[in-house]
Homo-oligomer: A and B are copies of this chain.
Amino acid sequence: MIPTISTIPIAELASGDILSIQVYKFVGAKPGKKAYLQANLHGAEIVGNAVIAQLIEFLKTLDDTQLAGEIWLVPTCNPLGTNQRSHHFSSGRYNHYDGKDWNRIFWDYEKEGEDIAEFAKTQLDLEPSQIRQNYRQKIKNCFDRAIEKIDKPSSVSFSDRYRYHLQGLCLDADYVLDLHSSTNQSIDYLYCFQGQEESARYFLLDASILFNEYDGNAFDEAFLKSWLALESEFEKLDRTLKLDVESWTIELGSGMQIDPDSVFRGVRGIKNYLAYKQILDISGFPLYQSFSQKVEFTPKSRVKGYYSSRGGMIRSRVDLGTCIQTGQLLYQILCFNKKGRLPEIIDVRAEASGRVFQVSTNHAVNEGEYVLGVMELSDK
């Protein structure tokens, strides 16, 4: 199968140069669902590019009868972020022009003030596929009105232009997969929305953060929230509706690195998920271990970041992935001072038991900087 490749200019720079994104579209012989994958929305998080490159290689080997529906892939989806450097490092988590986090800028249908409850009432007797189509059209109409602002003389900020480009590619998707990594050092895990736990297993990762709170306007949320809202409105009308629209942020290892193990797990999980969703018809998939895969779901409210209470140098830190007990020594801070005193060493201990899923790349900390993250166990 050969993909259709389209190139979309997204930023004319002051110099007259243009940055683009490029979409690789594989279209199956049979109709079906649409999966949308992108990678590298944050500048340092490059693993997903290697995953997508391998998926493209793999999909090229398939026959189009093995694909039902469409798979769209967008590697290096944020050129401004990917190419940004501060010294040798990839500092592109936020836009250096305005400080905006590249993954907190997305358009959220729910905030447009449309009456979803009213819409739900009009759809009560319809089939899910029809409802999906109608709602998608409704979202699309609203989106089209929103982007009209771009063409006015006052236009919109770059963040707004950019979000319309990316979201315009996946408004009609069924499954959205946004491939991230940690800014720092991390295990592989994924973010899971409530109600998607069953599907989550097919990514074959053993750790997941379960959204029980949102911090707003992330790509995965911006796509899914309006669908969750619709399902919730049906719930109120006493109809349980499952629309099979899903959104995933998959976290593959550490920033600025391409760990082959993370790439392997990323590719395997995505193939498995697409087979489970019957987009891909590939031999042996879904893998038999999918059915016994254990995923530890940690609610987001139980994910705890440890921030340094002092300025200094981190030492003796527990390793990434360690399971820790309450009271266990997590790390020490070597503190210098400019007050004529000797250096001192501060112990920092675990507040609760859990798993260290993330550690900072930088072992120097100003007061209040990030040191590590723990997926805490529940109290039971």
Indicate the size class of the contact surface on chain A: 35 or more
A361 within 8 A of partner (CB): yes
Q: Is the CB of A158 within 8 A of B369?
A: yes
A85 within 8 A of B: yes
Partner of A99, one of B101, B314, B336, B340: B101
How many copies altogether? Answer: 4
The one of B14, B78, B258 in contact with A366, judged by C-beta atoms closer than 8 angstroms, is B14
Question: Contact at A153–B330, with CB atoms within 8 Å?
Answer: yes
Q: How many Å from the CB of A214 to the closest CB on chain B?
A: 14
- Among the 9-residue stretches A116-124, A127-135, A302-310, the one with 4 or more Cβ atoms under 8 Å from chain B is A302-310
Whether A351 and B152, one on each chain, are in contact in the complex, defined by CB atoms closer than 8 angstroms, is yes
- With contact pairs A97-B369, A315-B50 given, residues A14 and B364 touching in the complex (Cβ less than 8 Å): yes
Contacts of A364 in B (CB 8 A): 14, 43-44, 46, 82, 90, 256
Chain B residues, Cβ within 8 Å of A49: 313, 334, 336
The contact of A22 among B306, B335, B337, by CB within 8 Å, is B337
Using known A-B contacts A50-B334, A311-B11, A339-B7, determine if residue A96 contacts B88 with beta carbons closer than 8 Å. no
Q: Are B351 and A82 in contact (CB under 8 A)?
A: no
Stretch in contact with the other chain, from A189-197, A199-207, A219-227, A341-349: A341-349
Q: Does A31 contact B (CB under 8 A)?
A: no
Q: Can you list 26 contacts pairing A with B, beta carbon distance less than 8 Å?
A: A12-B310, A13-B366, A14-B311, A15-B19, A15-B40, A16-B79, A16-B337, A17-B19, A17-B311, A22-B338, A44-B87, A49-B336, A56-B343, A60-B342, A86-B91, A86-B96, A87-B96, A87-B97, A88-B97, A88-B370, A93-B99, A153-B330, A154-B304, A155-B306, A155-B309, A158-B368
